[in-house]
Amino acid sequence: MADDTPISMDPELLPKPAATHTVSEDPFDGKEEWKHRPPYEIRSMKDFGEVKWRGSCQCGRVTYMLNRDKPLAAKFCHCRGCQVMHGAPFQWAAIFHKEDMMFKNGSQGLSFYASGEKSRDYQTPTKVSCSFCRTPIMDEGRRVVLIFPELIDFGHTDEEQRERRRVFEVNCHIFYSKRIIEIPDGKPKWSGLDNESELLNDAGHKL
């Protein structure tokens, strides 16, 4: 995912498209301390708070909870890195604080991949997936996570699913200049990062 962030957030806090840093962000001594911080830290439900959303991978071995009503922002990213990593025309990502999320089994069953270094060692930013079925779970940045709403349980009925999906409706498209398909939805479309590149129309022409 590209540098997905609300306007008020520092873009440096987020994972770059198909790029990561070589230096670990871990401020603690020891290589495993990250397992004891959100979103991997297993907290009591009292400490975590009310569960608003639940998500899981395809095989069900990885499940997580969210305690925030709605994401900080949601976007479609059309960068080449997202296309390749997801095997899809674009990535749908919703941004949450790390503290908003908790994996049921902590870091167990998760695989990590730093695309810039092509490394599977844990570091941030990193791409997180299920180690068994390989479902992409999220991109983890320095202070936020970019989860993929397709994994969220939106309910069973069509009406319930439509209503719940609206919470994760995207604010804009980013890297639309790299698009594989055009999406005439009237949403703001940036040629690169949002608020840092040119705005395009639905057909990809400069406004």
Q: How confident is the model over 50-101, as pLDDT tens digits?
A: 999 999 999 999 999 999 999 999 999 999 999 999 999 999 999 999 999 9
Q: Which pair of tokens denotes residue 32? A: 């495993």
Looking at residue 84, what is its pLDDT?
Answer: 96
Looking at residue 31, what is its pLDDT?
Answer: 72
What is the CATH number assigned to the segment(s) 11-200?
Answer: 2.170.150.70
| Structure confidence by residue, pLDDT tens digits, 132-183 | 999 999 999 989 999 999 999 999 999 999 999 999 999 999 999 999 999 9
| Structure confidence by residue, pLDDT tens digits, 89-137 | 999 999 999 999 999 999 999 999 998 889 999 999 999 999 999 999 9
Identify which of 71, 116, 61, 63 has the alpha carbon closest to the alpha carbon of residue 93.
71
* 58-83 core/surface letters (b: 16 or more CB in 10 A; e: else): eeebbbbbbbbeebbbbbbbbbebbb
Identify which of 121, 165, 124, 115 has the alpha carbon closest to the alpha carbon of residue 39.
124
Distance CA 5, CA 139 (A): 12
Residues β-bridged to residue 77:
91, 174
Q: What is the value of pTM for the model shown?
A: 0.82
Looking at residue 1, what is its pLDDT?
Answer: 58
The CA-CA-CA angle for residues 5, 13, 202, to 5°, reads 25
A 10 A CB-CB count for 166 gives 10
- Place 30 in a pLDDT band, splitting at 50, 70 and 90: low
